[in-house]
Structure 1
Amino acid sequence: MAKVAFLGLGVMGYPMAGHLQAAGHEVTVYNRTAAKAEKWAAEHGGGHAATPREAAAGAEIVFSCVGNDDDLREVCASENGALHGMAEGTLYVDHTTVSAKVTREMAAAAEERGVTFIDAPISGGQAGAENGQLSIMCGGPEAAYECAEAIMSVYAKICRRIGDTGAGQTTKMCNQIAIAGLVQGLSEALNFAEKAGLDGRAVVEVISQGAAGSWQMMNRYETMLDGKFDHGFAVDWMRKDLGICLATGDEIGASLPVTALVDQFYKDVQAMGGNRWDTSALIERLRKLSAS
């Protein structure tokens, strides 16, 4: 069992930290909204701290799961950031989806203090975090990854080191690129079925058993048909992620025409007031277009 800190208690981080505490690790949490950290500690029995630096003091491994590049810089490397509370030889694991650029920046800052940095973005949504069934894609030194993997296993369905620093983030970009096209395709299929007067559930029951089947179809089609979009991974976050994908595509010369198009469709959803709807809300844009 290890003494760990967990920074960021959003819809993903809150249950992930809970899995660590339930597995017997000694967990101290930090959240920008202190009341949420206090609630977590009361619920799970761990500790909470006022700053990332205080949470990280004495920890063998620090995890973070925050919002974006600037949030990571704040909790990791600012004056009150975790790195200033960590001892030499400890490990920092970041689960945030951020740019590979900031990952390399934080890895360099960690190295200056004798801390090893692992980028470990996650996929699986709120349900995956709550059920301990996340897919974790990692980048960083192999020996450090092996140490982290044993602890991350409590909330992982699969955990894999893809390569050196930044490889985890680049793999997460592949994940988001694939999801964007899948959700748009599923939205078009379900909207088409509705406009054709078909029973959407009966349609999915048949086509999901063939080549069209996917995780998105099986886990989102019912709520998409019902117009319910409260699964946790918001459109605002997806646009942030797709922006990282598109910028990286420009840097490495990878063409992403479908991703660029779906990013604009998500912009339309934001204009509809759907900033906090989950990513399957693309179907609402099509319904609006069909009704006009």
Structure 2
Amino acid sequence: MEKTIGIIGLGRCGMPAVERFLEMGYQVYGHARRAEVITALERKGGIHTASPEEMARKVKTIIVMVLNDDQVFDVVIGSKGILQSAGHGHLVICMSTINRSNLQTIDSSCRKKSVDFVDCPFTGGPARVSNGTLTLITAAKPEVIEKVRPYLEVIGKVTNVGDLPGFGQAVKHCNQLMVCAIHAATMEVITLAEKTGVDPKQVCQVVGSGIGGSNYFELLSKAILDDGNSPGGMGQLWKDINLVINTSREKNLPLLIANATAHYFDMAVSQGLANEDSARIMQVMRRMVES
């Protein structure tokens, strides 16, 4: 197997992925637009390419880790996208969380160029990229999964959920409903504790150690109470919960918790918190309580 990989999208998880592949002896090509990110890539030992099209001329297997649907369309099928130079023998692994039908459109475009495409959203933040313990939710033909498995196992464990791209996104959207709802519930738990005169840290310790606890609740409650960092970004989760809302409307589903959770994230973004850590969603609740 050729130990060369391309990574497009060098953000919260993309840059740790670069570091992980370099650590495991890979030659890593990266693409970014911001000068400081390009500099960081090259300092770590990665090779920058001017466009996704150029990257596909240099490497056969490319991971896409950009933020949203428009960015995935741009880097894969855009005027300087991967498909401008890719063909038979290329592998595109989409690790972004996007709209399911949009992903299927991109898959169709890849198939027309004989490019193998893997739907591969993931769970786990930057720390789990760095230590290779992501949960990778894959959907593609079995023979394609086996081609990409050695690359994916550098950064995590593969859980295949279907033979057709799109099923990975469906599973990830379910996961993100839970993740985002934990944000809403956690800040309400902390607020209830504060306003009833009990220690919110102690309450979170009790909840976290009991049947209602989870690893994510423990991480998030600590990040809120200590003004620290959580595994997620506000803008990313706002995008994800709205993917859930869009699906619920398409399927006519009464997802009341999802809608309430989306309202919190909508308020956070409207208050200028889109680029903040997701733990800062607590500011939304504090403003409501104080008003």
Please give the TM-score of this superposition, normalised by the length of structure 1: 0.92
What SS is found at the alignment partner of 2:211? coil
Q: Distance in 1 between matches of 2:195 and 2:54?
A: 56
2:145 matches 1:145: yes
Q: Distance in 1 between matches of 2:18 and 2:87?
A: 21
The superposition leaves residues 2-38 of structure 1 with CA deviations (integer Å, 9 ceiling, x where unpaired) of: 3221111011111112211221222111112244123
* Residues 180 and 261, structure 2, Cα contact 8 Å, conserved in 1: yes
Number of the residue aligned with 1:101:
101
Q: 1:133 to 1:119 in 2, by over 3 A?
A: same
Deviation, structure 1 residue 224: 0.7
Number of the residue aligned with 1:220:
220
Q: CA RMSD in A?
A: 1.8
Number of the residue aligned with 2:119:
119
Number of the residue aligned with 1:14:
15
Q: Distance in 1 between matches of 2:284 and 2:47?
A: 44
2:51 matches 1:65: no
Deviation, structure 1 residue 278: 2.5
In structure 2, what residue type is equivalent to 1:64? Answer: V
Q: Distance in 1 between matches of 2:21 and 2:227?
A: 34
What SS is found at the alignment partner of 2:67? coil
What SS is found at the alignment partner of 1:239? helix
Aligned residues: 289
The percentage of aligned residue pairs carrying the same residue is 24
What SS is found at the alignment partner of 1:114? coil
Structure 2 stretches lacking a partner, 5+ long: none
Q: Distance in 2 between matches of 1:272 and 1:84?
A: 40
* Residues 56 and 85, structure 2, Cα contact 8 Å, conserved in 1: yes
Deviation, structure 1 residue 232: 6.3
* Residues 224 and 281, structure 1, Cα contact 8 Å, conserved in 2: yes
Number of the residue aligned with 2:196:
196
Deviation, structure 1 residue 137: 0.9
The superposition leaves residues 59-105 of structure 1 with CA deviations (integer Å, 9 ceiling, x where unpaired) of: 22111101211111111111211122223122110111111112111
Q: Distance in 2 between matches of 1:115 and 1:248?
A: 28
Q: 1:227 to 1:25 in 2, by over 3 A?
A: closer
* Residues 126 and 231, structure 1, Cα contact 8 Å, conserved in 2: no
**How do residues 246-285 of structure 1 correspond to structure 2 at under 5 angstroms?**
246-285=245-284
* Residues 139 and 162, structure 1, Cα contact 8 Å, conserved in 2: yes
* Residues 18 and 46, structure 2, Cα contact 8 Å, conserved in 1: no
Q: Distance in 2 between matches of 1:32 and 1:145?
A: 30
Q: Distance in 2 between matches of 1:49 and 1:289?
A: 46
Structure 1 stretches lacking a partner, 5+ long: none
Q: 1:125 to 1:86 in 2, by over 3 A?
A: same
Q: Distance in 1 between matches of 2:97 and 2:285?
A: 28
What SS is found at the alignment partner of 1:37? helix
In structure 2, what residue type is equivalent to 1:25? Answer: Y
Number of the residue aligned with 1:173:
173
